[in-house]
Amino acid sequence: MKAGIVVFPGTNRERDMAIALKRVTGQAPAMLWHRDTTLPKLDLIVLPGGFSHGDYLRCGAMAAHAPLMAEVRAFAAAGGHILGVCNGFQILTEAQILPGALLRNANLRFLSQDCHLRVERADTAFTRLWAKGDVFRTPMAHGDGNYVADPATIERLEGEGRVAFRYARPDGTVAADDQAHNPNGSLNAIAGVFSENLRICGMMPHPEDLVDPLMGGEDGKPLFAGLVEALGR
Partner 1 sequence: MSNAGQKTVDEALAREFGLTADEYGNVLSIMGRTPSLTELGIFSVMWSEHCSYKSSRVWLKTLPTTAPWVIHGPGENAGVVDIGQGLAAIFKMESHNHPSFIEPYQGAATGVGGILRDVFTMGARPVANLNALRFGDPANPQTRRIVDGVVRGVGGYGNCVGVPTVGGEVNFHPSYDGNPLVNAMTVGVARQDRIFLSAAAGLGNPVIYVGSSTGRDGIHGATMSSSEFDEDALAKRPTVQVGDPFVEKLLIEACLELMATDAIVAIQDMGAAGLTSSSVEMAGKGGVGIDLDLDAVPQRERGMSAYEMMLSESQERMLMVLRPDRTDVARTIFEKWELEFAVIGHLTDTGRIVVRHKGAVEADIPLAPLADQAPLYHRPTAPSPAPAPLGPVTDPVGTERALMHLIGSPDIASRAWVYNQYDSTVGGQTVRRPGSADAAIVKIDDTSIGLALTTDCTPRYCRADARTGGAQAVAEAWRNITATGARPLAVTDNLNFGNPEKPEVMGQFAAAIEGMGDACRALDFPVVSGNVSLYNETRTPDGTTTAILPTPAIGGLGVLEDVSQAIGYGMQDDCDLILVGETRGELGQSLWLREIHGREDGAPPVVDLAAERANGDFVRAHILGGDIVACHDVSDGGVLVGLAEMVMAGGVGCTLVAPQSGMRPEAFWFGEDQARYIVAVRKGETFLSAAQAAGIAARPLGESGGDGLTLPQGGTISIARLRSAHEAFFPALMDR
Partner 2 sequence: MKVRVTVMLKDGVLDPQGKAIAHALHVLDFGSVGEVRAGRVIELEIAETDADKARAQGDAMARALLANLVIEDFTVEVVA
Residues that bind partner 1 in the complex, under the rule CB under 8 A: 9-10, 12-13, 15-16, 19-20, 49-51, 53-56, 107, 109-113, 139, 141, 143, 206, 208-209, 212, 214-216
d(CA 173, CA 212): 26
Amino acid identity, residue 25?
Answer: T
**Which residue out of 53, 116, 181, 206 is catalytically annotated?**
206
Q: Which stretch binds partner 2 (CB under 8 A): 123-131, 148-156, 173-181, 206-214?
A: 148-156
Instruction: Quickly list DSSP for 99-141.
Output: SSEEE--TTSS-EEEEEEEEE--SSSTTTTTS-TT-EEEEEEE
> Cβ-count burial of 159 within 10 angstroms (0-12 exposed, 13-18 middle, 19+ buried)?
exposed
Smallest distance, partner 2 to C-beta of residue 21, A: 29
| Strands 101-103, 146-148: pairing kind | antiparallel
12 binds, among partner 1, partner 2, none (CB under 5 to 8 A by kind): partner 1
Contact partners, residue 114, CB within 8 Å, separation at least 6: 137, 138, 139, 140
Smallest distance, partner 2 to C-beta of residue 215, A: 31
201 assigned to active site: no
180 binds, among partner 1, partner 2, none (CB under 5 to 8 A by kind): none
206 assigned to active site: yes
146 lines the binding site for partner 2 (CB under 8 A) = yes
- Bridge partners (DSSP) of residue 149 are none
Which is closer to partner 2, CB of 9 or CB of 217?
9
- Three-state SS for 204-218 is CCCHHHCCEHHHCEC
For 152, phi then psi, to 5°, come to: -65, -40
Smallest distance, partner 2 to C-beta of residue 50, A: 14
115 assigned to active site: no
104 binds, among partner 2, partner 1, none (CB under 5 to 8 A by kind): partner 2
5 lines the binding site for partner 2 (CB under 8 A) = no
Number of other residues whose CB lies within 10 A of the CB of residue 49: 27
- The residues binding partner 2 (CB under 8 A) are 53-54, 56-58, 61-62, 65, 93-94, 96, 99-101, 103-108, 146, 148-150, 185
Active site residues: 86, 206, 208
